[in-house]
Amino acid sequence: MQLISPQVAAYQKVVKPYEGLLVGVIGLATLDTTIHLIPGFPQSNLIELPISLSLAIAASWLASRLFKQIFDIYLLDAAINSGRKVNSEILLLVKLLANLSIIFFTIVIFSETHKINIFGLVASLGIGGLAVAFAAQKTLEQILGGIVIYLDRPFVVDDYIGLPDGIFGRVESIGLRSTKIRTSGKGTLIIVPNSSLTQVNIENFTGAKKIMALVYLNFHRTIEKEEQALIRQVILNSTSDIFGIDSRNTDVNFRGLNSANEVKTQAQIAFFILGSSDVSMGLRRQLFDIATENITEKLKYYDIAFDIEDPTIYVDSPITI
């Protein structure tokens, strides 16, 4: 059996899926450098600018994809194996900050290489913006609140939400300055400034999601009560520190699968994964898959042989209002 060095394995997992994009970035970088090195190149600025812009976009996209591979393959695994409580929302924030950093440094490098004083431009716009801010402070607060709602997405149109003052209803529209809510029962339309919504606790009844993940473990022998208790404890300990998995409702059931040829015991494990968006649910599924691998390793440590059925069954179970 041929051993693969860690460097080669890392290259195959992280870089190889994007070899074509990497070759394209290297080609654009070579072409851009060649144009700069040729003295008196005709219309160099006219040709160089779109090439440099294409290089900046391609390089930032490549950096983002490579970070995603490193994050999905290595960082998630390290977070699970660290023994600390894993918060998937923090991991999502890390991904967002990393991508924003890539965009920021790409803009700065592009500006510096083309002698664009981006910091001076931002400063000059900031001075002029102060006068406008004082003149329309309330309106700007509402507009900024709308931008925050669009970016943070605590709710979307058609969601049922509840506010601390007792308002409960369906969101009909989200504007830049205000949000319209159709109240439940009375049917009246309430218009709430977006700046107010960013400062209160919002209970989203529609956004809550729950997915039941079913995992089946097959043991090729009879599992006694003591071993069942051990297996149940290993499963609970392996998922209790993962933020987003409702460990209180984790259920493990054992049943016999006797046939003419052999005696088997099957364990059905039901996990409940909670989330508020497709992105967070996707990340929590990744964390759950890693936790399943940890369960496998721990049970093998106790010399408990079993087969795990593939694939894991995911059942959507929206939380009812």
Quick one: average pLDDT of 191-212?
Answer: 81
Give ∠ CA 309-306-281 in degrees, rounded to 5. Answer: 40
Instruction: Identify whether residues 213 and 187 lie together within a single domain.
Output: no
Domain end: 181, 204, 227, which one?
204
Instruction: Identify whether residues 45 and 10 lie together within a single domain.
Output: yes
User: Are 306 and 205 spatial neighbours (Cβ–Cβ below 8 Å)?
Assistant: no
d(CA 289, CA 283): 10
pLDDT band at 1 (very low <50, low <70, confident <90, very high): very low
Instruction: Identify whether residues 256 and 243 lie together within a single domain.
Output: yes
Instruction: Identify whether residues 274 and 194 lie together within a single domain.
Output: no
User: Are 145 and 197 spatial neighbours (Cβ–Cβ below 8 Å)?
Assistant: yes
Whole-structure pTM value: 0.47
So what's the pLDDT on residue 230? 92
Domain count, the chain: 3
Over 70: is that where the pLDDT of 253 sits? yes
Question: Is pLDDT larger for residue 287 or for residue 170?
Answer: 170
Domain end: 204, 235, 254, which one?
204
Q: Is residue 130 part of a domain?
A: no
Instruction: Identify whether residues 221 and 312 lie together within a single domain.
Output: yes
Instruction: Identify whether residues 34 and 105 lie together within a single domain.
Output: yes
* CATH code, 298: 3.30.70.120
Q: Is residue 311 part of a domain?
A: yes
d(CA 51, CA 49): 5
So what's the pLDDT on residue 283? 67
Instruction: Identify whether residues 164 and 229 lie together within a single domain.
Output: no
Q: Is residue 63 part of a domain?
A: yes
Backbone φ and ψ for 260, nearest 5 degrees, come out as -70, -25
> Residue 10 is part of which domain span?
6-120
pLDDT band at 86 (very low <50, low <70, confident <90, very high): low
User: Are 251 and 191 spatial neighbours (Cβ–Cβ below 8 Å)?
Assistant: no
Question: Is pLDDT larger for residue 205 or for residue 268?
Answer: 268
Instruction: Identify whether residues 223 and 194 lie together within a single domain.
Output: no
**pLDDT tens digits for range 98-151:** 888 999 898 888 888 877 777 666 666 666 666 665 656 777 777 787 788 877
Q: Is residue 132 part of a domain?
A: no
**pLDDT tens digits for range 211-230:** 778 888 888 888 888 899 99
Quick one: average pLDDT of 202-214?
Answer: 76
Quick one: average pLDDT of 261-289?
Answer: 73
Domain end: 79, 94, 120, which one?
120
Q: Is residue 129 part of a domain?
A: no
Q: Is residue 60 part of a domain?
A: yes
Q: Is residue 262 part of a domain?
A: yes
Quick one: average pLDDT of 39-60?
Answer: 77
